[in-house]
Amino acid sequence: MQASRLLIAAAVAALLQAAAAVAQTPPPAQTPPTSATTPPDQGPQTEHPAVGVGVSFESLDKDMDGRISKTEAAANDHVKKDFARYDKNGNGYIEKEEVNPPVDNTAPKQ
């Protein structure tokens, strides 16, 4: 009888130590999910609603010349379909300024 009490006490002590160790373990680091259009090695991209939800200007501009050609736009059905609407100056390219106009920080705040 004495031996079984000692065995139970040792088992409880071991479980308490294991529980304390688990409680002190920090949770794993959370990384933000990447979208299908964001290459993991290039970091997060900004979304341009005019180019399409979930699509960034940078992800479509494959040759990184600062504009999206019709060939590059073909990678996204939404952009391909509305290319003429996004190409406001009609030069055959969608420039960043056409889909993300600069913000005027000089306007007085109300």
Please give the pLDDT value at position 90.
Answer: 93
pLDDT of residue 44: 46
What integer pLDDT is reported at residue 31 of this predicted model? Answer: 60
40-99 classified as CATH 1.10.10: no
Q: Tokens standing for 102?
A: 């600069």
pLDDT means over runs of 10, the chain (110 residues): 68 62 64 52 48 75 92 90 91 88 69
Q: Which residue has the tokens 């040792």?
A: 10
Cα distance between residue 84 and residue 66, in whole Å: 17
Q: Is 70 exposed, middle or buried (0-12, 13-18, 19+ CB in 10 A)?
A: middle
Cβ proximity of 99 and 48 under 8 Å: yes
Question: For residue 54, what are the contacts with CB-CB under 8 A and spacing of at least 6?
Answer: 35, 36, 37, 47
